[in-house]
Amino acid sequence: MEYVTNQIRLCGTMESAPSFSHENHGRQFYSFLLGVERLSGTVDRLRVLADLALLNAAECAWGERVLVTGQVRSYNQVDETGRHLIVSVYAEHIELTDEEPDDVVTLSGTLCRDPVYRRTPLGREICDGMLAVNRSYRRADYLPCIFWGRTARQIATLSAGARITLTGRLQSRDYNKTLPDGETETRTAYEISAVTAELIRD
């Protein structure tokens, strides 16, 4: 059976104009925030990274609705406050659209630490995991995942090293971080909220 390693499809509204991010092998990359509304009305604000040529071909701008397909990527950013895991969407295709909001992620990878099972204050079962998803050149993306209900119980029985495949959505969540000087700073965390998950059996 073939498993999709890393694939995401987003449909939302550009909430910021593309701004320069970096240059790599002569290619210029720009980032922008894409707002994707959930059924609940909550809006996930997701960082999209795209090649300038791709953006120019799509002729998209702030405030327009776009369809983005690509992969979920991560990297570690180090600054004076420590190391931060940055999760973003690497765009492989962008086009203008009038479709309804959409956010579908399919991943296959390896649990790189033991999952942690707990209950929310309202009693919902939840399990936190970190999935290592391989990509080219012997690199991997490390993506925080959350599982709910029966799926949470199933994932909680697994250990680091187990290979799973899942479908879900990429979500954003704001939280307050207390800095060493005592000040608080609002930051945004990103995680995959899994809808389905299953063990990959060799």
What DSSP string runs through 172-194? EEEEEEE-TTS-EEEEEEEEEEE
Which residues sit opposite 164 in a β-bridge?
109, 199
Q: Whole-structure pTM over 0.95, yes or no?
A: no
Domain boundaries, the chain: 6-102, 106-199
CATH number corresponding to 6-102: 2.40.50.140
What is residue 119's predicted lDDT score, i.e. its pLDDT? 94
What pLDDT is stored for residue 185 in this prediction?
79
Nearest residue to 165 via CA among 118, 193, 200, 191: 200
Among residues 95, 92, 43, which one has the least CA distance to residue 65? Answer: 95
Pairwise pLDDT comparison (119 vs 178), residue with the higher score: 119
Q: Which CATH number applies to 106-199?
A: 2.40.50.140
User: What are φ and ψ of residue 136, in 5° steps?
Assistant: -65, 160
Condensed to tens digits (0 to 9), the pLDDT of residues 144-181 reads 999 999 999 999 999 999 999 999 999 999 888 777 77
Q: Do the domains 6-102 and 106-199 sit in the same CATH topology, yes or no?
A: yes
How far apart, in whole angstroms, are the C-alpha atoms of residue 71 and residue 89?
Answer: 6
